[in-house]
């Protein structure tokens, strides 16, 4: 790891001021589980590390009429143990329990989980987010792309969005709040993720001097939700496909649906096609299968990852059936 200077501010405005207006010089240190690895591998080399864990009002959770507020520095472990999450957002509780390992969950924060960098092995080995060789040829398209994107991969970005929590958070309708020198702003969580078109662009809509302050999930008492992951290993592994589903029912038919796939595209991938296929329908094996088919109709696998299309379909079908049966698979 290269040398850096370390500063630990106590307030949001101090942190924002210390970050500066340009990227690359300073990095935000929250849980550190991703950042320290990137620094050890020399993928990022900040001159200044700003530990924001001393900012007290970024920690902890609270509830009000808007919903459930999660401070950006709440650890995944604390969130997984939280009684409100378990009771009101059981599909999120399940996603949290399956995330990484106990040791990582004790350090990793929700804000960091949203801001973690892609797991693409070209990126992690220093070839950049949109890796090209000297002649401008895209490395992923003709290289080792078995874990890469099957949707949204028309441009140079072929990595997959790495958070396993984001699909279910988006399905629940979560919003993200950011703060910078010009004040606060709020985005639907899915809008926080962008597909970079040029090297140097980031995959997050986070300006160099902005910090993530909290995530807000609307009340979900009338929502039936489920999270489903397919991994090669039973646990502590990056998934091959993730699905987050939230259904509102009218009688035995679907009134509205929010269906989001993870690990299939450079951003979390909501599927209006699958949502449309379900609205007005009862949930059974046939309707779940039709929705899953609709979600993957436009998939364009790369040379080595066509298998992911079927895995994404299966994850989605199982998540829909699980949501309808009250979160039990």
Binding-site ranges for another protein (CB under 8 A): 1-11, 13-18, 29, 31-33, 36-37, 39-40, 48-49, 51, 53, 77, 97, 100-104, 106-107, 234-236
Q: Which one, 27 or 190, has the nearer CB to another protein?
A: 27
Distance CA 140, CA 22 (A): 28
Q: Which one, 180 or 196, has the nearer CB to another protein?
A: 180
Return the closest-CA partner of residue 120 out of 99, 139, 95, 136.
Answer: 139
Q: Smallest distance from the beta carbon of 146 to another protein, in angstroms?
A: 20
Distance CA 34, CA 29 (A): 10
Return the closest-CA partner of residue 27 out of 13, 10, 44.
Answer: 44
Contact 46, 4 (CB under 8 A): yes
Q: Smallest distance from the beta carbon of 157 to another protein, in angstroms?
A: 24
Q: Which one, 103 or 284, has the nearer CB to another protein?
A: 103
Q: Which one, 98 or 190, has the nearer CB to another protein?
A: 98
Q: Which one, 13 or 252, has the nearer CB to another protein?
A: 13
Q: Smallest distance from the beta carbon of 54 to another protein, in angstroms?
A: 10
Give Dmax (Cα) for the chain.
Answer: 61
Q: Smallest distance from the beta carbon of 107 to another protein, in angstroms?
A: 5
Place of tokens 């992690």: 124
**Residue 209 zone, left/alpha/beta (φ > 0; ψ -120 to 50; rest):** alpha
Query: DSSP character for 6?
Result: E
Cβ-proximal residues to 225 (8 Å cutoff; 6+ apart), any chain: 89, 90, 91, 92, 168, 171, 172, 244, 245, 246, 247, 323, 327
Q: Smallest distance from the beta carbon of 104 to another protein, in angstroms?
A: 6
Q: Smallest distance from the beta carbon of 236 to another protein, in angstroms?
A: 5
Q: Which one, 4 or 127, has the nearer CB to another protein?
A: 4
């Amino acid at each position: 790891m290269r040398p850096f200077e370390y500063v630990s501010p106590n307030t949001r405005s101090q942190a924002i001021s210390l970050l500066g207006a340009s990227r690359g010089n300073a990095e935000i240190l929250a849980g550190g589980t991703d950042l320290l690895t990137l620094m050890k591998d020399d993928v990022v080399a900040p001159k200044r590390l700003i530990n924001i864990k001393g900012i007290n009002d970024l920690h902890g959770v609270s509830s009000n009429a808007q919903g459930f507020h999660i401070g950006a520095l709440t650890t995944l472990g604390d969130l997984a143990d939280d009684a409100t999450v378990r009771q009101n957002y059981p599909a999120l509780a399940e996603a949290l329990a399956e995330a990484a390992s106990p040791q990582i969950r004790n350090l990793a924060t929700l804000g960091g989980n949203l801001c973690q960098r892609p797991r693409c092995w070209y990126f992690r080995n220093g070839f950049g987010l949109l890796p090209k060789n000297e002649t401008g040829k895209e490395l992923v398209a003709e290289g080792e792309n078995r874990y890469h994107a099957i949707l949204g991969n028309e441009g140079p970005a072929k990595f997959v969005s790495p958070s396993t929590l984001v699909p279910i958070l988006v399905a629940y309708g979560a919003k993200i709040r950011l703060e910078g020198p010009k004040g606060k702003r709020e985005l639907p969580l899915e809008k926080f993720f962008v597909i970079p078109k040029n090297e140097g662009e980031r995959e997050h809509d986070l300006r160099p001097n902005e910090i993530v302050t909290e995530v807000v999930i609307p009340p979900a008492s009338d929502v039936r939700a489920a999270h489903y992951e397919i991994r090669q290993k039973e646990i502590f592994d990056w998934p091959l496909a993730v699905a987050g589903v939230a259904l509102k029912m009218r009688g035995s038919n679907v009134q509205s649906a929010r269906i989001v796939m993870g690990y299939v595209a450079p951003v979390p991938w909501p599927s209006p096609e699958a949502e449309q296929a379900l609205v007005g329908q009862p949930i059974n094996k046939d309707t779940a299968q039709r929705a899953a088919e609709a979600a993957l109709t436009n998939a364009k696998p790369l040379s080595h990852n066509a298998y992911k299309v079927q895995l994404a379909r299966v994850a989605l079908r199982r998540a829909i059936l699980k949501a309808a049966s009250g979160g039990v698979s």
